[in-house]
Homo-oligomer: A and B are copies of this chain.
């Protein structure tokens, strides 16, 4: 693989090009659903495309567990590794077309990419929050994102879009702020977590919590990092985001006709692949944020405040919904998406649903799968056409 530094520094034609993160400080306190409160907070965000005259073409991108505000373009054209995490989907002529939309992506509250979170310093004593950072829920994120929208003078989003935990935010947006969301795109998500989902999150947490360098969450004070535990947590997440079929394909094992050489290599390749990815992640992500994100996932259940009645929750929605699932996603399986669809129909929502054939499991939502991107593009084009009609 050629070094990325040697590549051309020209902007790819369908890229938003070089982007500069922005930040916004909120000096009003925010009360959190779990009982916590932050006296002030900062959100990091990026925007792509131009806001139109009537401020109606704004689109909000909500990120998943390990995501952040840098969704598209490059921070440094000379280093193509600085590409945004959803660059294949956001840009001029891409499914979320920056020629049509003003796209906002942010790092969630509690994150570790610049927004106020466990690695931030407390305003009172200047020490890192660490494990004292209050638990944040999906509703809290939506509330803080609404404050960001207020600050940017966006009254109503053309669309709120997210995959996985991001899709849960999009769903919560449509329920909590019906007047502010024209369309919600709920990709590879679920109306709540299954016991198996929760179990995998708990195992990941245990790996972090029992790491010798966790120091009860005060590892920054100890100039330490529970990298082993965070790495193991990531490995586990990663494996559950892939499908068994996709892994067999990736690691070259022709399991129905194995040969000695390939069979031998699979163990070594799987092992080094997982360890590499686990360690890489552990060096760029914060363990307390990982814990916070998994707790937010576990507690997600928009039906809870409607006495557990999902249909009642979805009756709040006025937005049009597009629900997308992927055939081999077993972490948030198609059946879970169809629970949302069924409840949306019962709640008289305007809902469309598509299940995309893919071998790539939960990770599919990040990939450039032709039918998936064609559908997103067509759906987004229709949204734009309606705005302008």
Contact = CB atoms under 8 A, between A and B. Distances in A.
Interface of A: 192, 194-196, 198-200, 202-203, 206-207, 210-212, 228-229, 231-232, 235-236, 239, 242, 244, 247-248, 250-251, 253, 255-264, 266-267, 270-271, 274-275, 278, 298-299, 301, 303-305, 307-310, 330, 333, 339
Nearest to A209: B228
A301 B263 contact: yes
A304 B202 contact: no
Given A198-B266, A258-B301, A260-B308, 19 more contacts: A194-B248, A195-B253, A199-B274, A202-B270, A202-B275, A206-B228, A206-B232, A206-B275, A207-B207, A207-B232, A210-B229, A244-B333, A257-B308, A257-B309, A257-B310, A258-B303, A263-B303, A263-B304, A264-B304
Nearest to A190: B255
Contact of A206 (B231, B260, B301): B231
Given A301-B263, A304-B258, A308-B258, A244 B194 contact: yes
A210 to B, nearest CB: 4
Nearest to A251: B195
Main secondary structure, interface of A, reads helix
A267 B196 CA distance: 10
Contacts of A202: 235, 270-271, 274-275
A194 B278 contact: no
A139 to B, nearest CB: 14
A203 B263 contact: no
